[in-house]
Structure 1
């Protein structure tokens, strides 16, 4: 194999590599990026929010009157994990949420507890339903003595659940509330820096208006068979009402809330939340009489740091496959194509020179003298006859 053929093969290989890199860059910006912008299947997070509020004292159930305490320290905890069915298109999130009084020990401080399960689209974070899966469920409450496996109550979900979509936009999104058992609008409210991360802020009102006024509270949906916690009948003295202390008074439990979500717009991760919720008993919806718990909690610093780190990790992954690698592959591919073309052109000239040197004489050497006439280089020289040996030169007579 001569040098010209070897150069031609190398040129074809380099140009092929360049074309492959350009195709890879195109695929990364379209097909591959769409495959990686999905909610991870290995989610496992514990989110903690702290705050204070006015809260019922569970120990007073055995007393003469329901005790309501103010300025109570409270902690809300969410444990998020992945359950089946989860696959390339959907992920099922199980979220256990509790609200506790931290000034009480163990179950004496437990105020709220709910285990919510929802299947969401991995790209849009919207709840999805099928014949075998209604899109969500809540776990039926159990007593401490109950040793039977937990059972779920089907609860179809709609809207977003626990995440926002990838490439979140500055618009209104419906976000599902498992306590109210329906979705409510979360409205875009501006940008804000959270631990160095630019986030979109969304606000959601359930039963409140934008000014925080109670306008349309939600009747609490009990998870017990007998609705024992949605309607309570007790003596007037227990409620702390004037009049006949033994009169039986029935009150209905209502619920209203205001939430603020700080969302990473690239990954849809909720990096911080603030929640004001009010559970109360009343005979008329807009006239609260007895507070069960009225509180405000905000994500603690450890939770915010963890969620910001998670959002940055997803951003880096998306940026690597969706921007850095495509740009790199495109640049290297173009260089390879140009380099291969130049090498191929050189190999053709080299082969031409081997076949007929005259065809390539215009490109010969750096010291080619064509076009530069050197005087004397073409001058004719006179050819002198050679003398024969042994014969003296002729002398003139």
Structure 2
């Protein structure tokens, strides 16, 4: 009985551990593979050496040469996230993003933009939200429609093509999977997006100012934009480990020669790559711990306890059966029923009397035996007269 109880306990604990393992895989892990509601702010820095860039300073428009530094700050907005409703409630988070581009030599601001948008917590893609806006001209554009991947790829990124949103075009373009590359100990997926000579939708006031500075006499023109964007992504978390953008903007007037307004090769600096890799490693370690190592360990231990519980319970059952068989097989003394004595002889039946050492049955007493009070030697009796005469 004791063995059966222990076996039942082991079996029950084994089932519980298997259930916990399944819960980690099918419940906890999917919950962790989402953008959290308490995401810490992060900063990424990209640098471009020997760049050519347009700079407007104190009303003066000029193309300069030098080193540039681009800083992007991403901050999650808990209040705006909590106010999301409808299909976005529980599905999205709201981020605020700000970027500044400045000269390295004198810290002068070259350009800046700000944005607010909603991102899918699993895919990292931008979602349609009526609170989104983009400001890269000094005025918020609330008619912007963010889409595709912008600052993050999906958790468990696949080796396939994705669409990346381009801020200058205000639209998405294909980013093709181009292979793998190990960066800071992480095997990343490399995606390449190529934008070639596409015309930007430039405000007429700005276009007129540019033409008046660089193409005197031109009555019309266009700003042609190219970008070779390469993104190295951690496939487990979808985080950007490294980003490189080779950008070019050329003012093409209807009269006169084209003018290059931007020619820069931006890439994450070493500190940003290291920090991005460290954050990705920390996140992927937590995911792998709770989605692989812990469930496997619980499942193995649960199976061991299941088998052990069955064996212990079966052993107890075998032992109990053995004891029962032992009791059945052990000879026991059976008391013979007592039979009544023979009324004629006042003797017990033959079968009821104990046997002697040489025979199983002691023969019954004979009337020819001498009585207990008879002498051992017969006594001589006197002869009668007839007997005497005959002698």
Instruction: Identify which of 55, 67, 74 aligns with 2:62.
Output: 67
Residue 53 (structure 2) aligns with? 55
How many residues get paired? 323
8 Å Cα contact 2:169/2:201 also seen in 1: yes
**Cα distance in structure 2, aligned partners of 1:174 and 1:277:** 18
Instruction: Tell me the TM-score normalised to structure 1 length.
Output: 0.73
8 Å Cα contact 2:165/2:173 also seen in 1: yes
1:13 aligns with 2:13: no
Structure (1 or 2) with the larger CA radius of gyration: 2
Structure 1 segment 118-133 matched on structure 2, within 5 A: 118-129=117-128, 133=129
Structure 1 segment 229-268 matched on structure 2, within 5 A: 229-232=206-209, 235=212, 238-239=213-214, 247=217, 251-268=221-238
CA-CA distance at 1:81 after TM superposition: 1.1
Q: CA-to-partner distance for each residue in 1:138-196, whole Å, 9 max, x for gaps? A: 13644xxxxxxx85523111211211111111111001112211001111111111112
1:102 aligns with 2:100: no
8 Å Cα contact 2:133/2:140 also seen in 1: no
Instruction: Identify which of 24, 27, 30 aligns with 1:31.
Output: 27
Q: CA-to-partner distance for each residue in 1:206-247, whole Å, 9 max, x for gaps? A: 2x2xxxxxxx3231445xxxx533442664xx42x5xxx7x5
Residue 43 (structure 2) aligns with? 46
CA-CA distance at 1:94 after TM superposition: 1.6
Instruction: Identify which of 177, 189, 198 aligns with 1:217.
Output: 198
8 Å Cα contact 2:177/2:189 also seen in 1: yes
CA-CA distance at 1:122 after TM superposition: 1.0
CA-CA distance at 1:342 after TM superposition: 1.6
SS at match of 1:125: coil
With over 3 angstroms needed to count, the CA separation of the structure-2 counterparts of 1:104 and 1:15, relative to structure 1, is same
CA-CA distance at 1:120 after TM superposition: 1.6
SS at match of 2:206: coil
8 Å Cα contact 2:131/2:142 also seen in 1: no
8 Å Cα contact 2:177/2:190 also seen in 1: yes
User: Unpaired segments of 5 or more residues in structure 2?
Assistant: 83-88, 331-356, 359-391
Structure 1 segment 198-347 matched on structure 2, within 5 A: 198-206=187-195, 208=196, 216-222=197-203, 228-232=205-209, 235=212, 238-239=213-214, 247=217, 251-283=221-253, 289-347=258-316
CA-CA distance at 1:288 after TM superposition: 7.0
Q: Name the stretch that deviates more: 112-121 or 180-189.
A: 112-121
With over 3 angstroms needed to count, the CA separation of the structure-2 counterparts of 1:359 and 1:269, relative to structure 1, is farther
CA-CA distance at 1:271 after TM superposition: 0.4
Q: CA-to-partner distance for each residue in 1:17-58, whole Å, 9 max, x for gaps? A: 101111222222223222211123314110001112112343
CA-CA distance at 1:111 after TM superposition: 2.0
User: Unpaired segments of 5 or more residues in structure 1?
Assistant: 143-149, 209-215, 362-382, 385-397
Residue 177 (structure 1) aligns with? 166
What root-mean-square deviation, in Å, do the aligned CA atoms of Structure 1 and Structure 2 show? 2.8
Instruction: Tell me the TM-score normalised to structure 2 length.
Output: 0.74
